[in-house]
Amino acid sequence: MVKNVCFWVVLALLISFTVFCGCSGETGGDARRNGDELGTFKSLSAETEAQIKSDFLHFYFVAPHLPDDEVYIDHYFGNYNGLEVVAFLPYIYLTWLCTNRFVFICDDDVIGFEFPYQVAMLAWKPGVHSETGQFYEIWEAIDLGLLTRDDIQSMGGVCYDLEPYEDLDSEIERQIKQDYFDYYGLDYGPDDDWFNDFRIDCYFGTYNGYAIIVKLGVWDSSTNIFVYDYLFRFGISAAMFACKLGTNSESGRPYLILQDHWIASDKDREDVIDYRDILTEEDARSMWKQYLAQIYGRIK
């Protein structure tokens, strides 16, 4: 049985992604803008939009780098409890805020949004007098009680029931651990404490002969891992492996899953594999559903 601590580290973040079935609410505000000029959202005045854009630059300390006219509000969801909820197009300085899927915990429900491209979905609270307005990530606003479940759903969020997640077969787990130890030259076996204490933190299924696992806090790791455009975000550094399962007497071996932002020398390493060579986009979505189930499924 996998000792899955993935939930505990990500629960600290309660971050964003998205989903696919359940009870959708009515869209609040204007889902998309019409043209590039200020004031083209029917429910957002030009003056307020200009203030949001200006505060955005100052709040995230990018004012010296971008003029106001390069800040683009792509979606406007409406005003909720004095907060203006918007989605900005991504900027090089704020990529950590951006994804095309957002998922939030609201009471006992998991509610999400999906965009055709990456955006930064934020809630803006006006400043007092000359103060710069405050921005919140949506999960922050929910945690602070500034946005409610009904608010999120009225923006067009979709709630869904989580599917049961797949446990890792104990024999396959033992094989993965042994192959991992053998490949990296660690002279331990099933009778050693180091072997038995080795933890596979997350398991997202087996696809085309490769078991997809995550190890937390190891080398070559990142808090954000992409497979196609599906984002797997963790509270601490993590590495995703595609473990080729052995057949008959042939040993399997682990591969680090390639990330597109890696430098060329890392991409050419023999222990790295391009996910596009072994996984389809449908596989990636299945992995992502397993990821959500393992994180959010234990909250209820």
User: Would you kindly state where each structural domain of the chain is located, as residue ranges?
Assistant: 22-159, 165-296
Torsion angles phi and psi, residue 77, rounded to 5: -100, -15
Rounded Cα–Cα distance for residues 128 and 83 (Å): 13
Rounded Cα–Cα distance for residues 136 and 222 (Å): 24
pLDDT of residue 300: 36
Q: How confident is the prediction along the chain (300 residues), in pLDDT tens digits per residue?
A: 444 444 434 433 333 333 333 333 334 455 555 556 777 788 889 899 989 988 888 887 765 666 666 778 889 999 999 999 999 887 666 677 787 778 787 776 778 888 878 888 999 999 876 677 899 999 899 989 999 989 998 998 877 666 666 778 888 888 888 888 888 777 776 677 767 777 888 899 999 999 999 988 776 667 788 898 888 877 678 889 999 987 655 678 888 888 877 777 777 888 889 999 999 999 998 898 888 777 665 433
Q: Are 63 and 32 in contact (CB under 8 A)?
A: no
Rounded Cα–Cα distance for residues 152 and 157 (Å): 6
Name the burial class of residue 223, with classes exposed (0-12), middle (13-18) and buried (19+) by CB atoms within 10 angstroms of its CB: middle
Which residue, 7, 223, 15, 234, is CA-closest to 104? Answer: 15
Tokens of 179: 């192959």
pLDDT of residue 96: 73
pLDDT of residue 297: 56
